[in-house]
Structure 1
Amino acid sequence: MKVLLDTCAVSDYNKPLKYPALVAFVDSLPDEALFVSVLTLGEIVKGIDMLPQGLKKDTLQAWYAGLLAAYSDRILPVDPETAEVWGRITSACAARNLDLPAVDGLIAATALQHGLAVLTRNEKHFRQTGAVVVNPWSA
C-alpha cells in the first residue's frame, strides 16, 4: 500500500506517545510507500510561522528541515493533471452541496492522480472525494 500523508498524519507522527497506532502503521510501511504533498508542507510552514519565537518554534523548524530531507524524492506537486482532478472533485462535491476545503480537495486530487490512499483522521472531507482513506487512529 502506498499512501499520501495528510497534514494531520505528518504532524501527529511527531507525537508517538499520543498516537501509537498511527506511528505503528506508518512504521510498518517502507519509506518508498510514503508521500507528502507540497500543500502539507505549506500548512506545516504556516503553523510554524504563526508560533512566537522560542524553543518550540526552533524545534519545529529543525523537525521540518528533517522532514524535507527525508521526503525529498517523495514530495508531490500540484501539476496540471492534478488540478483537473481537483476541478472534477470540487464540482461533484458542490453539486451535492458538500463542503470541501480547497487544500483537502487538492490533497485528495493528488492522491487520486498518483494512485495513493490518503492517510488521515479527517475521513469526512476525503471520503466524499472518492479517494481511498486509511485511518489508523481509529484502529
Structure 2
Amino acid sequence: MKLTKEERIRLTYQIGDIIEQKCRRCYYNRSDDASFSINICAKCPTGQTLRQLGRYFDTEPRSRGGKTGNMPDGLTPARVRELNDQGIPDKEISIMFERSPSYVGKVKNRWRKHRVMARAESGAEEVK
C-alpha cells in the first residue's frame, strides 16, 4: 500500500505521540527517569502497536545501488572479448564508450559473476 505524503506525515506524528505519551516512562523498561533512547519492547503492548504502525512504511522493497540498465549500446561480452583480443585494454574500451576507466572491468566482473562471459566465449546467445 503506497502512502501519500499527508498520510506519511500523519502516521509519523501518531508514532511520535505514542512514544511521547507511553514510552518515555516505560513500565516494561523499568525506567524511573524520562528515557531519551527508545527501545521497542517485545512484550510491551505499546511496542506491538508501534511495530504495526511502522510496517506501513516498509511496504516497498528497498533498492540498492545506483542506476541499473544504463549499459551503452554495443557494449556486450562478445564485443569486449573481441576488442581485448585485438590488444585494446579495458580502460581504453571504457573511454571508447564514454565511461570511467574502471567501468569495463567492473562490468566484466559482473558478467563473470552471472556467467555471461562464458556464454559469449562459447558463441551462445548473449544476455543483456
TM-score (norm 1): 0.20
Task: Give the greater-gyration-radius structure (CA).
Answer: 2
TM-score (norm 2): 0.21
Point out the structure with the larger strand share.
Answer: 1
Higher relative contact order (CA 8 A, sep 6+): 1
